[in-house]
Every structure is written in structure tokens, then in C-alpha cells.
Amino acid sequence: MNSADEFLAQKEKFQLGDLPTESPHPKTQNLSDWAKGDVARGLKTLREVDLEALRRIVELRSILSDFFHAVAAALEHGDRIFLVGCGATGRLSLSLEYLWRRKFPASTQVCSLMAGGDVALVHSLEGFEDFPEYGARHLRQMGFGPNDLLIGSTEGGETPYVIGAVEKAAEISRRPPQFLYCNPRQILIDRVARSRQVLTNPRIQSFCLDTGPMALTGSTRMQASTVLMLVIGLALEFGRNVDGAFAVLEGWIDFLAGQDVQPLEPFIVNEARIYLDEQYTIYASDDYAITVFTDTTERAPTFNLAPFDNPQHLTARHSLTYLMIPSAGSAEESWRQLLARDPRPLEWPQIHAKTTKDYLLSFDFSRQALDFRRRILEHSRHHVFHIATAKTRLHLSFAGVDEHFNLPGSLALLDHLTLKLLLNMHSTLLMGQLGRFEGNLMTWVYPSNGKLVDRAVRYTQILLRRSGYSDFTYDEIVRAQFICKNELSPTESIVHKTMQKLIDARSGAIR
């Protein structure tokens, strides 16, 4: 969205505040206070919300049977399965392809695509997810054919890019595309025209994985992306054996319920202190690089942090952290390690200059990454956060702290998801210590697309009402936000800046 007028002309498409995935969770209203003063309680509550979402999925065994059988039928016939998503669901799609290729190195039966291409794993390409025609074009470019199966995942159930790809798949393939989402079906049909179009299309099979609200309001990188990755991953693993898949799921829930997450606290406190002291971190991991990468890159849009630095395109603003894959000797090798395949850039320079292979490979996550970070931040101290496996245990080592966490060990999928949950808890409370959200509202979210513009407007409206200013209209807040976005510094929250601008303007008018 380039202007307030452009957004307001189509605002109804993005006003999604009444969707459960966009609603504040009643259990986490004091999350920012716990992050600063009671980390143990914050960890306990985040684990409760994770388990709550997972237990909802157990109840969907019979509903999901058709989805498992559709996946199994494609695999049994040797046909390809394409996974498509945007942002967090794009990253989980790439992660699932990675897990497939690690298990079956010679197989190309599972393919993934995300809005913006593989480079969007590092940072989003602004506005891409708002265009359904881009999703359709990307799917065609990937060579999707008449016998292939598409699985589209969208946390909210309304992402235009995913919808565009799913609708195109319904035209091309004899296999009905599968559409997975995390809000109640009827709400989407009643509220969102583009969702209604998909959900009522007889050529598309849709499945609601209703997770309820996120632990951090609207942060679907957490519970929603967990259950989507879980369900798709279990279908790829178990095929028609639905009972076996859900038995494993129930066992994993029991495992998580008994897992001690309190040892994360010193890692959270130490990493926050490092950033407050204007120092930096770099995460080092081989086997779990894709999962570590996902969590660290998703911090940037959620909390208005600088995305990963690019050695060939440096700016004045630097990322707090970075990723290093110690076993990779070059940029190209680091991408192959990360994805378990060669990278697939879009190569749409006429639409966006950052869709090219040259730009993608200018990011280097090999063992040279630490030297690069030291060169560009030569007067700063850098701390390495090691994440590795030790048999069936996960080993975390950072800033003088060493801890081991048990892993399920039964499936690589569940091992990676276990780490995902730990990292989601860690990074959320870390950002809470840095003051990057208020209560459970993402007040530092960066409004890079229509959905995020609306999200920031709603949070501004909530805080204005709490401060006694209940009469600002939605449109007034939008216009103020677009002005503030152009003036926003890395040390400012878009929500607080917009709120202050409106209050100052009101006070000036009164005087």
C-alpha cells in the first residue's frame, strides 16, 4: 500500500479484527509485564496456549481424514504435491519441503512456494501477498500440472496470494486443491468476500484448523503456523494412516505437557541484556538451520527490527542477530543447506528488483557470516548462540549458559516443531523484555501490507480508547499512520507514534 487513499479505497478487504486469530488472547493480557518481571510465568502461560491450540486439533481427527487421504492418493500415484503460503505459512511450506528432501534426497515429489519466492524466507517483499494474480503466476511458473495436488495454507483464511494460487490450481488439476486455515468457516464466509469465493467453490476442499486467538495478538507465526505445519507434515508422513498420525500427535502433546521450559529463562535474559548493551548475536546451527532461521527472520516484521543484513546491500540499520550454518563454505552452499535444494528465486525484476538469484545469493549464511558481521560492526561485541543435537536431546549454548532439552525423537517433523515452540517462547519474551509489545498487542508491528496496516490501526484505536480518546475514526487513524510510517525511526513504535500524532493534533486544535 503506497498511500492512505489507496488503502482506504479497499479497506473492507483488510478489516479483519473480529477474526479469532486477530483477537487478543484472554490468558496473555499481561504478557509484556511478565516478560519484564516474571519470565517463568510468561513461559508457563505460553506453553499453556500452545497446548490449548494443539488439543483443538486432536478433536478434528474425523474431519481431517479426507485431507490425509487426498495427500496419500497423490503420493501413491507418484504425482507432485505443492505447498503454498505467505509469510509464516510460506516459511512452514519451505520447511516441510526441507524435511521431505532430508528424508528422501532423490525425491522432488514435494515442492514449496511462498509469496516473493525463496528470498522472502529472509524478508518479505512489500505488498506481494496482497495480489492473488502473483500467486497464480508463481504456481504456473513452478510447472504445476493436471495431476498435481496443491495445499494452500493461510492462518487467517484470507491471504490473496494463497487464494490466487488455490483458485488457479482448481482450474488446472484434476485433483481438488486443499485449503487449510485457522478461523471459523462461517465467519470467513460472512465477512471476507475472497474467502467466501474459495470456501464455497465445489472444486476446492477446505479444512478449518480453528486455533483460537494467538498468544501475542495477531502473531500467527506462533500457534496458527504450528498447527498448520503439524497437520500438513503428519499427512505427508502417515498418508492414509490417520489413526497412527493422531496417536503420535497425542503422544507429542503429552511430551510437551511434561517438558520443562523454565531453563529458557537465562537465555531470554542474556540475549535481551546483550541488545540493551548495544551488542549483537549470531545463531549457529546445522541440522536445525531452517527452524532457527524462521524464528529469527520473523522477529523483524513483528517487532519493527531491521531484517538480516545483506553484505552487498548494506544500510545504516543493522539486524540484531544473524544466522550462520557452520558446515557451509559459501553463500550458495548455505542456501542449499538451508533448503535441502537449490534456491528458487522468482526472477521477476520488472515487478521487484529483489526477486532475482543475484540478490538472493548476496545473502551469505555460511561459516563466513560471523566474519562479515564483525567487519560491518567492528566496534561491537558478537555472541554466538549455538543450537545443535546431542543424540535425542537439543543442546543450547549461549553467553555462558548450557542447557539440554529433550526431543520426541520419533519424527524429524516433531523435533523441528518442538524447537519452533521453544524459540517462539524465547523470542516473544525476549522482545517483551525490550519493550517491543504492550500487554499482548504487537505495538511495534511494521505495516508492510494491507493486513498489517489494519492491525496497527486497530491497536492504535485500542490504546487511544484506554487513554480516553474514543472518538477518533478508523479513517483518521489510517491517514495518521501513513504519515507516521514515512517518518518512522527504528526506535519508534508505529502504534505509539500514530497515537501521539493524533493526540497532539487534537490538543493543538483545542488550544
pLDDT at residue 390 in the model = 82
For 61-208, CATH number out of 3.20.20.20, 3.30.470.20, 3.40.50.10490, 3.40.50.1000 equals: 3.40.50.10490
Instruction: Please say whether the beta carbons of 427 and 43 come within 8 A.
Output: no
165-196 residue pLDDT tens:
999 999 999 999 999 999 999 999 999 999 99
**Which candidate, 334, 314, 313, places its Cα nearest to that of 325?**
334
Residue extents of the structural domains in the chain: 4-24+441-510, 61-208, 261-433
Which DSSP string do the residues of 194-261 spell out, in sequence order?
A: HHHHHHT-TT-EEEE----S-SSTT-TTTHHHHHHHHHHHHHHHHTT-HHHHHHHHHHHHHHHHH---
pLDDT at residue 459 in the model = 95
Residues 71-74: contacts with CB under 8 Å, at least 24 apart: 71/149, 71/151, 71/178, 71/235, 71/236, 71/239, 72/235, 72/239, 72/240, 73/175, 74/148, 74/149, 74/175
Confidence of residue 511 (pLDDT cuts 50, 70, 90): very low
d(CA 147, CA 378): 54
3-24 residue pLDDT tens:
999 999 999 888 988 899 999 9
270-300: string of b/e by CB count within 10 Å (b at 16+)? bbbebbeeebbbbbbbebbbbbbbbbbbbbb
Q: What are the grid coordinates assigned to 355, written together?
A: 526477486
Instruction: Please say whether the beta carbons of 36 and 433 come within 8 A.
Output: yes
**Which candidate, 435, 433, 449, places its Cα nearest to that of 492?**
435
Instruction: Please say whether the beta carbons of 132 and 194 come within 8 A.
Output: yes
3-state secondary structure of 470: coil
Side-chain-side CA neighbours of 152 within 13 Å: the count stands at 31
**Which candidate, 290, 289, 291, 270, places its Cα nearest to that of 281?**
270
pLDDT at residue 16 in the model = 86
404-436 residue pLDDT tens:
999 999 899 999 999 999 999 999 999 999 999
Mean pLDDT of the residues in the chain: 95
pLDDT over threshold 60, residue 510: no
Q: What are the grid coordinates assigned to 117, written together?
A: 519466492
Instruction: Please say whether the beta carbons of 73 and 173 come within 8 A.
Output: no
Phi, psi of 132 (to 5 degrees): -65, -30
87-105 residue pLDDT tens:
999 999 999 999 999 999 9
pLDDT at residue 509 in the model = 62
State the pairing for strand pair 205-208/280-284.
unpaired
437-448 residue pLDDT tens:
999 999 999 898
